[in-house]
Amino acid sequence: PLHIQAAAIEAIRDGHTRYTAVSGINELKDAIVDTVQKDYGLTYRRDNVLVSCGGKHALYNLFQTLLDPDDEVIIPAPFWVSYPDMVELTGAKSVEVPTREIDGFKLRPEQLEKVLTPKTRMLILNSPSNPTGAHYRRDELDALAETILRHNLTVLSDDIYYRILFDGQEWVNMAMLGERLKERTFIANGVSKSYCMTGWRIGYLVGDAAVLSAASKIQSQSTSNPCSIAQWASVAALNGPQEDVEKMVQIFQERCSYVLKRLAEIPGVTCYKPNGAFYVFPNFSCTFGKSVDGRVIKGSLDLADYLMEKANVAVVPGSAFGEDSCLRFSYAISMEELTEGFDRISRAIAALK
């Protein structure tokens, strides 16, 4: 949005180009605190906030701070591709728990109970989700909360897509269910998705002040502060008008409907209807075992390679997200590109016998 661009230019002209505090400028921390108060109904202070070089950096800092070797982290699958690797870098172990399309790709309480051990330290919840677009309702979070509290689990709530919800759905996360859950939850967020600022690299954590103080020390010895200019632009993003975000969400919902329609026209393909974000995660296992010109499709990676070479369309294989039956499509492109892309995909899939 233009007002964010203008704020960045103004920051340069005003000389905001030197080091800042490692954990972020106070103006941005205040904007984050105010945003969480308004959108979550939760009260935090500046020392409950750590600003980092993107959402991924925020997650990495938290994992490095909290996780010890042999700790176990529960990651519902499908999952964002970086979670297991970032956990592994701490010496901890990822426990991937498959969820089902019939359940909306959401973790159920009995699944959580089944994988808990004395070493379980953390549960990661990404809602709305990359890659599925699934969003946990309040009652679904309530169902998980009893187990979380009984076993003293820490929750990482990755809320990076929280503004991109469809059909007027209620925004809710685990920290919003009560003080005890707030104390056990770390919120990870950023400006990348809501404000089209992926290259500006501003993410943040909100949670326990002592933990974030330790995470800030780790950040101080790796990147130091996030980009000063991008921080001032993020102040404008959070404090400024939100009409552009609302328009973007409406456009994404329209594109999502179109994508679901095109997928339904491909015989054998099924797709969970996303609740938000800007992805679909359709099941293309109907193509597995089929071939063309002697080329056999054995899984999602084969299919993604085939679509790239045959149709010149880039998709991400579901195996990268822990579910080989699916492909991930992003509809954060124009309708013209989506139309052309699905025309090509449909022809390529029809060629498989």
C-alpha torsion sign, points 260, 261, 262, 267: positive
- pLDDT tens for 155-205 read 999 999 999 999 999 999 999 999 999 999 999 999 999 999 999 999 999
Q: Which two tokens stand for residue 11?
A: 């920051």
Domains of the chain, residue spans: 2-240, 244-350
Phi, psi of 189 (to 5 degrees): -155, -175
C-alpha torsion sign, points 177, 179, 184, 190: positive
Cα dihedral value 198, 195, 174, 204, nearest 10: 50
The pLDDT of residue 36 is 98
The pLDDT of residue 178 is 97
In the structure, what pLDDT confidence band is assigned to residue 235 with cuts at 50, 70 and 90? very high
What is d(CA 298, CA 266) in angstroms, rounded to the nearest whole number?
19
pTM, entire model: 0.96
The pLDDT of residue 152 is 97
The class of domain 244-350 in CATH terms is alpha beta
- pLDDT tens for 58-106 read 999 999 999 999 999 999 999 999 999 999 999 999 999 999 999 999 9
**What residues contact 14, with CB distance under 8 A and at least 6 apart?**
none
What is d(CA 294, CA 41) in angstroms, rounded to the nearest whole number?
58
- pLDDT tens for 32-57 read 999 999 999 999 999 999 999 999 99
3-state SS of the chain? CHHHHHHHHHHHHCCCCCCCCCCCCHHHHHHHHHHHHHHHCCCCCHHHEEEECCHHHHHHHHHHHHCCCCCEEEEEECCCCHHHHHHHCCCCEEEEEECCHHHCCCCCHHHHHHHCCCCEEEEEEECCCCCCCCCCCHHHHHHHHHHHHHCCCEEEEECCCCCCECCCCCCCCHHHHCHHHHHHEEEEEECCCCCCCHHHCCEEEECCHHHHHHHHHHHHCCCCCCCHHHHHHHHHHHHCCCHHHHHHHHHHHHHHHHHHHHHHCCCCCECCCCCECCEECCECHHHCCCEECCEECCCHHHHHHHHHHHHCCCCEEHHHHCCCCEEEEECCCCHHHHHHHHHHHHHHHHCCC
Q: Out of 3.30.1200.10, 3.30.70.270, 3.90.550.10, 3.40.640.10, which CATH number does the structure's domain 2-240 have? A: 3.40.640.10
The pLDDT of residue 282 is 98
Spatial CA neighbour of 328 closest among 310, 303, 353:
303
What is d(CA 310, CA 306) in angstroms, rounded to the nearest whole number?
6
- pLDDT tens for 123-149 read 999 999 999 999 999 999 999 999 999
- pLDDT tens for 236-288 read 999 999 999 999 999 999 999 999 999 999 999 999 999 999 999 999 999 99
Name the average pLDDT for the chain: 98
* Residue matched to tokens 């339904």: 264
- pLDDT tens for 276-297 read 999 999 999 999 999 999 999 9
The pLDDT of residue 263 is 98
